[in-house]
Amino acid sequence: MNRKFLVFFAVAGLLFSCAPFSKEIRRQVDESLAFREMQRDPQPYLGKTVIWGGVIIEAKNRKDATLLQIIQTELDYEKRPKHLDHSAGRFLVRYKGFLDPAIFKEGREITVAGEFIGKEVLPLGETQYSYPVLLPKEIHLWPKRQEFHPIDPWYTGPYPYYWWPRYPYWRYGPYW
C-alpha cells in the first residue's frame, strides 16, 4: 500500500515540476542566476537562459515586436509568480511578433523562459530606469486566480453564497 503512494507522488512530482515549460528549456536554464545580479551587471550573463515571472504592467506593440513591461516576483514550485507585493525590480520581454494587449493586459500574471540579451534604459516617471531584457523562448500567461470564499471554497458565482446555494452547504444557509 505504501509503495503505491510513493509511486503516485513520484509520478505526480515529475509531471508537475516546472509544468509550463518544455524539457529542452528547463535543461538550458541556470537556476543559480539572481535577478538583482543580472540587473546590476548584465555583461557576464548575456546569452544565458532564465525563467522569470511577475505581473504585467504594460504591453506596447511596436512595428516589429511587442514589448511587455513586467514587475518581477519570486516564483513558486510551478514557476507561477508568488508574493505579488514584493519585487526585486522590473524587466522587459521583447516578443518578435504581435501579442494582443487585451489579453496581455495590466495585472495578469506571467512567467517567461528566455534568453537574457542585456538591458535597456527607459524613462520611469521622472527618472531613467535600467530594465533587463529577455528574448522569450516560451511564455506562460497564468489564468486569473479565484477569490477564496470563506464559507464555500468551491463557490465561483457572482452572488453571495446565500443567494446561490451550493452543495454541501445548501442545507445550512441562513434561510434554511
Give the DSSP per-residue string, 113-128. EEEEEEEEEEEETTEE
Region of 50 please: left (phi>0), alpha (psi -120 to 50) or beta.
beta
Higher pLDDT among residues 20 and 75, named by residue = 75
% of the chain with per-residue pLDDT over 70: 72
| pTM above threshold 0.75 | no
Long-range contacts of 163-168 (CB under 8 A, 24+ apart): none
Give the pLDDT of residue 174: 56
Per DSSP, what are the bridge partners of residue 58?
A: 69
Give the pLDDT of residue 54: 95
CATH 2.30.42.10 matches 21-141: no
